[in-house]
Structures are given as structure tokens and as C-alpha cells.
Structure 1
């Protein structure tokens, strides 16, 4: 259920954002439209979770850590754009610039106060997974942990509270870029939404073991996000990108460690193939 939900969510959000420009003249209307679309998508997802539930704890954690925050984060983001743009007193000039500078200062202060100096923010940014069950399991909300009053309003059947915090991190980071683009004259009139790319014709055609070997090589070399991404997250992203299910990739990797011959057969093959290609194009 979870993977199909994730794929559907990504596709539907990408299709909607492909239509978005967020030009100054269109930002209010487009942000309002996206707010309604994402609210509907969140409600659909909530109903599906209530109806189908989760098959195990791993699926539940993945949903509240990675899937729901993507919808809610974009919802918060577009709602904030709508509120900022409808409150803007000018279309240009120094007053316009001052307004967005103040919004950026406000965002920086709020972000620093609520996230940057928190253990939870460091936990998320480091790609850790050891406290996932505490943060992303239903029924684990601790109202004495210093959380704000919002904790009393959340639906305990569709939130762990921390999924809401991840969503806010996503929203604030997107909003930071949006405001910076508004302050940069060269970027005005350009789209600040994620670019829509059709991945339907891109899929993995080599063996699963080959891809697992590549994933572990990138992880071991700390080539992605300075090594902060967990191997499971790299694997999940790769599965979505290349339209493949790797199954128990940990077990597959341990079998590679004890196989006869080269332990890095695919990487050896890549090296030889690249060298041949280079020599052919001299």
C-alpha cells in the first residue's frame, strides 16, 4: 500500500506543480489552487489509511516520516505563500523589497527558534533512524515533552506530531527559496516550483544486485549529502527513480560480501565499460 501511495502522491503533486509559475501576477491564484488540491489529497490519504491501515510497524513509520510530510509540507508551503502575497502592500519598489526582507527575517527567526537548535532537527538532517519508532509511531505523543499547544488538536489516528514537524521543515525550506527568489530581480517571473520530469521511460535494466552494489558504494563513499543519508533512504529514492523493488537489500549485500570472485563485480564492470567508451571517443 505505502509504495503505491507514495508513487501516486509524487505523480499527482508533480503534475499539478508543472502548471504552476508563481509569477507575481499569478502567485495568489496559483497558491490558492494548490492549497485546495493538496488538502484534498491529504484527506484522501487519511481516508485510505483509516480504511487499509498498515501491515507492520515499518510501513507505519515510513508513512509518517516520509509520505505524509510531503503532502502536508507542500500544503503548508502554498498556504504560506497565499498569506504572504495577499498581505503584500505593493507590487514592486523599495516597499515591496522591504516587505519580503522582513518576511525572510521572520522566517529565519522562527526556523531557528523551533528547529535549527533542536535535537529533532539534527536527527532528521543527519538521516538517522534509531529513534524512528519513538518519533513516527502512532500513540507515542508525550504532551510533557515541551511541545506547543497544537499537540492537543492533532488527530491521534493520523499523526505522531513529529510528522507535522517534518512537514514544517519541508515547508519552511521551500518558503525560504521562494522569498529569496522574490528578492532577486533576476529570478522574478520564473517558476520557483519543482520542475516536472516524466520518469516513465527510465527504469533499471541491469540486475537488482548490481543496483544494490551501486547504492552501497555511494553510501560507503559518502557521495550523497556528505554521507548524511541513511542507506534505507537512498534505497527508497532509487527504487522510486528506477521503478524497481529491491526487496531485502541488506541480505543481498551480505551475500555479496561472501561471494566467490570479485566482491564488486558491477563496479568493476562499470570501470571497464567507461574506459572502453573513453578510448573509443578519443
Structure 2
């Protein structure tokens, strides 16, 4: 198939990096990414409708994995744009209250419409036994009493459940985005912040080294099959090591243009590991 998951992830990541390197406001980044992803989804849709699928496996793979990746990001960036343009101030108590309210709304939606559903448990468990039903065109079971949204979907380009996965992906990205807008010290959801089990764990190299590692893990898709964004990965490390990383994107842009190796820390990791291996021989 023309559109593989690896190609889609790489294409989206490259676009994100290009936009971030231009040092635009988050509002402008979200708006530009929304337009880009909308166009990408339209292009993919045109290809699928015209070319179809070679077999059932390719169809299932597309609606389970590829389309939700694009649509999930599209829903996310569109929501970020709406949230950012609706923010009344740039800081202070009203600012904190605004983003806290958006986080509570997201949690409510998650509790009411996502986490308690049979499909969510199916997807999260990694099961595949019902993929033939969930991710093939024309298999929507109206006896299940589905949301009325199902009547508005394009039957040539949606199985309904691909949209559900896209919403899960978008909500995870939004959750991380909203957490970064709220001081982790004041957020009860960030349990690790005061965890006794990690109080003696701290980062002893430079912040740039940690940012390099964060981006490497993000770019490789090594965490959660590439389904979580750079902000969530960075937040995990900031919480674990209790180190603020500041503006990730500006640091990454400087990393891309620095003299010498652009992956100095990763290069040193490789050398250190090989030296350690040699000692064990």
C-alpha cells in the first residue's frame, strides 16, 4: 500500500518539526497543522477510494492504524487551536482556572464516552479477534445503538471505529497538552511528583542531552508505538527526573543547527555502552 504507518508518521513529524523551527506561536502552529492534516487526510481518502485495498488485511491495517493516526492528530490540533484562541489571559489565576476547566471537561468526556466502552477495552488490550468486524467497511452493527454521528460518516472511508481510535489518540495528546499548561506541582494527577520511590532519581547530564534523548524516543516511535506526542514524553521525563526542560522546540531547533554532531549525547551513549560491553567480555 502507498501509505504505510512509518511513512505517515515520518511525514507528520517532518511537518511538525518544520513548523516548530519557525518559532511561531502555538496558535499559529495548531492552525497550520490543522490545515496540513486536513489536506493529508483528503489526499489519503482520494487514494483509498480510487485504488481500494489489495486484501482484507490491508483494509484492516489502514482503518486500525493509518487513518486514526492522521485523524487523531487533526482532532488534536484543531482542539488546541480552539482552546488557545479562547484563552482569556496569558497567565495568573484566570489562566490556570481556564486550563484546569478544559482538563476537567476532557476527563468527563473520557469517563462518559470512552473508558467504559467495550471497544475501548478491546483496543487497549491489544486484541485482534474482532478486527474483521471493527475495521472493515460495511460492517457497522446498528443494533448496538451507536451514536448518531455514525449516520454522518462516509461509508466509503470509515468503519466508525477508526474514528473512535482517533478520538482516543487525540484525547491522550490533549491530556498531555493541558497538563503542560497547568503547574505540575499543583496538579493532583501528577502522582510521581511527590513519589517516595523516585526521590533519589535525578538527571545528572545537561538539559540539552535529555531533550536529545526525548526527541530520539519520539522520532523512533519506541514509546506506545509512536501514539503519544513529544510533549507527553518530555513531561514524563521532567516528572521522573524533576528537571524543567523549558522550551523544547527552540532547544531542538538549536540542536539541529549546532556545529559538529547534532546527536552528541546519543553518540556518547553508544560509545559508553560499547565500552561497557567490552569490559564484560
Query: TM over 0.5, yes or no?
Result: yes
- Residue 12 of structure 1 corresponds to which residue in structure 2? 11
Q: Shift in Å at residue 105 of structure 1?
A: 0.4
Aligned CA distance change for structure 1 residues 154 and 276 (closer, same or farther; 3 Å): same
- Residue 125 of structure 1 corresponds to which residue in structure 2? 124
- Residue 81 of structure 1 corresponds to which residue in structure 2? 80
Deviations 1:105-158 (A, max 9, x none): 000000111111111111111100001011101001123312211101000010
- Residue 41 of structure 2 corresponds to which residue in structure 1? 42
Count matched residues. 205
For 2:169 and 2:139, the matched residues in 1 are separated by 22
SS, match of residue 181 in structure 2: helix
Q: What's the Cα RMSD here?
A: 3.2
Aligned CA distance change for structure 1 residues 144 and 198 (closer, same or farther; 3 Å): closer
Q: Shift in Å at residue 276 of structure 1?
A: 11
- Residue 163 of structure 1 corresponds to which residue in structure 2? 162
The answer as to whether partners of 2:30 and 2:78 remain within 8 angstroms in 1 is yes
SS, match of residue 116 in structure 1: coil
- Residue 114 of structure 1 corresponds to which residue in structure 2? 113
SS, match of residue 144 in structure 2: coil
- Residue 184 of structure 1 corresponds to which residue in structure 2? 183
The answer as to whether partners of 1:32 and 1:82 remain within 8 angstroms in 2 is yes
The answer as to whether partners of 1:73 and 1:170 remain within 8 angstroms in 2 is yes
For 2:41 and 2:278, the matched residues in 1 are separated by 53
For 2:41 and 2:137, the matched residues in 1 are separated by 17
- Residue 148 of structure 1 corresponds to which residue in structure 2? 147
- Residue 57 of structure 1 corresponds to which residue in structure 2? 56
The answer as to whether partners of 1:97 and 1:183 remain within 8 angstroms in 2 is yes
For 1:19 and 1:123, the matched residues in 2 are separated by 36
Aligned CA distance change for structure 1 residues 24 and 142 (closer, same or farther; 3 Å): farther
Deviations 1:145-193 (A, max 9, x none): 122111010000100000000000000000000000011379xxxx9xx
For 1:59 and 1:107, the matched residues in 2 are separated by 33
| Range with bigger deviation, 94-103 or 4-13 | 4-13
Higher CA-based Rg: 1
- Residue 28 of structure 1 corresponds to which residue in structure 2? 27
1:240-251 matched pairs, under 5 angstroms: none
Q: Which runs of 5+ in 2 are unaligned?
A: 186-210, 226-272
The answer as to whether partners of 1:70 and 1:170 remain within 8 angstroms in 2 is yes
For 1:23 and 1:181, the matched residues in 2 are separated by 21
For 2:170 and 2:116, the matched residues in 1 are separated by 18
For 2:72 and 2:104, the matched residues in 1 are separated by 20
SS, match of residue 114 in structure 2: helix
For 2:98 and 2:80, the matched residues in 1 are separated by 13
